[in-house]
Amino acid sequence: MPFNKVTRAPDLVPIRNVLVSVYEKAGLEDFARGLVAACPEVRFYATGGTQAALRDAVDPRAVGAISEYTGQPEMAGGLVKTLDWRIYLGLLAETGDPLHEADLARHKAVAFDLVVVNLYPFSAAAGASGSSPEDLRQRIDIGGPAMLRAAAKNYLRVAAVSDPGQYSRVLAELDDQGGWTRLEFRRSLATAAFSLTARFDESVSRALAGLDSAALEAAYGLE
């Protein structure tokens, strides 16, 4: 199957639909309030704990649960929350492609303009004294990197926010552009997102390579 080749893309994209799933919630409430101030019609789609934080910050009617949007409950332990066709359709659909727009309409999917994700603190666990193989395994983030990579790939339309330290930059961009983001700004966020996911994967790889059979036996009771 040939790749879709985009030859025209918008510079300015308005922020209407925001996908949010964060481990570190510091600064999130102020960021959400800033988004509403810059984009009054914005709607948030969020996972469990993130949803609760957002509903404390903004009008709860503007915050929807990812599980309600996908029609799928979160897997026990939160292992599967965002790995869903409608989510990735909304992240990867390209502006101006009639087939993508038809897919969005047919599946009643939302085109996400902004994705806010930060990852499980794997490096902290890997560096902590006494961390077991299971401590490390539980902190391998799957959905977060996948969403960031999808959003960053489609920087032609989607802004990928991968670190709370970017919140002020995003709000400044929206203030300057009247609630819209520029292509160059989205490209810069995509660059940071791919750098983050690459570092995360490298950290996981190093930690797993450093485990020995004794550690595995102690963690999982091998016979």
Q: What is the pLDDT of residue 79?
A: 63
Considering the domain boundaries, does residue 163 fall inside one?
Answer: yes
In whole angstroms, what is the distance from residue 97 CA to residue 99 CA?
6
The DSSP letter of residue 161 is: E
The DSSP letter of residue 62 is: G
Q: For residue 130, is pLDDT > 80? A: no
* CATH number of residue 157's parent domain: 3.40.50.1380
Query: Looking at residues 36-46, what average pLDDT do you find?
Result: 97
Other Cβ atoms closer than 10 A to 172: 13
- The pLDDT tens digits of the residues spanning 133-186 come to 998 998 999 999 999 999 999 999 999 999 999 999 999 999 999 999 999 999
- The pLDDT tens digits of the residues spanning 5-23 come to 888 889 999 999 999 999 9
Considering the domain boundaries, does residue 48 fall inside one?
Answer: yes
- The pLDDT tens digits of the residues spanning 95-128 come to 888 887 898 899 899 999 999 999 988 888 888 8
Other Cβ atoms closer than 10 A to 211: 14
Q: For residue 191, is pLDDT > 90? A: yes
| Tokens of residue 16, six digits | 């209407």
* Portion of the chain with pLDDT greater than 90, in percent: 68
Considering the domain boundaries, does residue 214 fall inside one?
Answer: yes
Cβ atoms of 167 and 24 within 8 Å: the answer is: no
Considering the domain boundaries, does residue 60 fall inside one?
Answer: yes
In whole angstroms, what is the distance from residue 172 CA to residue 175 CA?
5
Considering the domain boundaries, does residue 4 fall inside one?
Answer: no
Q: In which domain, by residue range, is 176 found?
A: 13-220
- The pLDDT tens digits of the residues spanning 57-95 come to 999 999 999 889 988 777 666 666 777 889 999 999 998
Considering the domain boundaries, does residue 26 fall inside one?
Answer: yes
The total number of structural domains that make up the chain: 1
In whole angstroms, what is the distance from residue 96 CA to residue 156 CA?
11
Q: Which amino acid does the sequence have at 109?
A: A
